[in-house]
Amino acid sequence: MQDWCEKYRPKSLSEIIGNQSAIEELRKWAVEWEHGIPKKRAVILHGPPGVGKTSAAHALANDMGWEIVELNASDFRNQKAIEKIVLPASITMSFASRRRLILLDEADNFHGTYDRGGVSAVMKVIKKTLQPIILTSNDLYAIPKELRDMCLQIQFRHIPWNSIVKILQRICREERIRCSPSALEKIARNSGGDVRAAINDLQSSVMEGLLEFESVTVGLRDRERNVFEVVRRVLKEMDGGVMEMVYTLDESPEELVHGIEENVWREYDVEELLRAYEM
């Protein structure tokens, strides 16, 4: 059976539900490439899993008529792989003289000494590229600061559950599934704003063309926030979403403060820290 996430992946940016301001910012950046090389040659699409980052990149390529070269973090983690695959793709046109979009998926998976050469090589590619580059990341601040600063940063947020219900209803119509509204709502609410998770739960719950509330099987979503993720967000994005993360963190206030003290130097350079302490 075909994976429904792939089968119903949006073909155009206009088909993507939610995150419309992010979609418009991405489209604007792409149009700049049609008139030359923009100031920011690469974009980081960041946000929680399953909110449409990779789908947006593919849909953009379809809309613009661009060829797409996609690599996962495991493919471009070291310098050798980047110099062999990514660099040549970034400085040449396709055989049909079309522009080429380079998609580096899960870019926040760089870690450790092994990846240092990979980060430097990606930065080198971005400086030289003649083609648009998109990186996707669940956690923006897991990407080294020097790499982040080279890129336009576009945030994708969780999809509201009622919007996810509309996506599931469309799939049910296409698959000719008789579905209970309460079953779709259960799947959508449990997804935590993750469209991919909701579609997977829908596909696993359908029995002989029928979806009822009692037959819904949903995967448990881990909503507990890791202290390191919260610390990074507190240091960089003190908005309402961060405060929600702080309230749901399974750590004491003292441990959170200690984590901030230990990690502040990772997120700010020396000049920024000196200015902060002078205030």
In a domain, 13, yes or no: yes
- Please tell me whether residues 34 and 71 are part of one structural domain: yes
- Please tell me whether residues 23 and 84 are part of one structural domain: yes
CATH of the domain at 21: 3.40.50.300
In a domain, 181, yes or no: yes
- Please tell me whether residues 95 and 144 are part of one structural domain: yes
- Domain boundary, last residue among 191, 215, 239: 215
In a domain, 51, yes or no: yes
CATH of the domain at 205: 1.10.8.60
10 Å CB burial of residue 106 (0-12, 13-18, 19+) is: buried
- Please tell me whether residues 110 and 54 are part of one structural domain: yes
Mean pLDDT (whole number) for 238-248: 57
In a domain, 222, yes or no: no
Q: What residues contact 150, with CB distance under 8 A and at least 6 apart?
A: 40, 41, 42, 123, 126, 127
Where does the pLDDT of residue 113 fall: very low under 50, low under 70, confident under 90, or very high at 90 and above? very low
Mean pLDDT (whole number) for 6-11: 94
Give the separation between CA 226 and CA 139, rounded to whole angstroms.
12
Mapped onto helix, strand or coil, the DSSP state of residue 210 is strand
Q: What is the pLDDT of residue 88?
A: 72
Query: Is the model more confident about 13 or about 143?
Result: 13
Q: What residues contact 224, with CB distance under 8 A and at least 6 apart?
A: 248, 249, 250
Mean pLDDT (whole number) for 8-17: 94
In a domain, 14, yes or no: yes
- Please tell me whether residues 32 and 88 are part of one structural domain: yes
Query: Is the model more confident about 209 or about 161?
Result: 161
- Please tell me whether residues 90 and 180 are part of one structural domain: no
Its sign, for the CA torsion 70, 75, 80, 84, is negative
Stated length of the chain: 279
Q: What is the pLDDT of residue 39?
A: 94
- Please tell me whether residues 102 and 183 are part of one structural domain: no
- Domain boundary, last residue among 177, 194, 215: 215
Domains of the chain: total: 3
- Please tell me whether residues 105 and 177 are part of one structural domain: no
Contact 13, 23 (CB under 8 A): yes
Query: Is the model more confident about 37 or about 110?
Result: 37
- Please tell me whether residues 11 and 127 are part of one structural domain: yes
In a domain, 220, yes or no: no
- Domain boundary, last residue among 155, 177, 206: 155
- Please tell me whether residues 20 and 129 are part of one structural domain: yes
- Please tell me whether residues 186 and 208 are part of one structural domain: yes
In a domain, 115, yes or no: yes
On the question of pLDDT at 9 being above 60, the answer is yes
Strand blocks (E) in the chain:
42-46, 67-72, 100-105, 133-137, 152-155, 178-179, 210-211
On the question of pLDDT at 96 being above 50, the answer is yes
Which 3-state string (H, E, C) describes 66-104? CEEEEEECCCCCCHHHHHHHHHHHHCCCCCCCCCEEEEE
Eight-class DSSP state of 48: S
Query: Is the model more confident about 93 or about 183?
Result: 183
Mapped onto helix, strand or coil, the DSSP state of residue 134 is strand
* 115: Cα within 13 Å, side-chain hemisphere: 16
For residue 163 the two structure tokens come to 């919007």
In a domain, 221, yes or no: no
- Please tell me whether residues 104 and 200 are part of one structural domain: no
Which structural domain range is residue 204 located in? 161-215
Chain segment 39-82, per-residue pLDDT in tens = 999 999 999 999 999 999 999 999 999 999 888 766 655 667 67
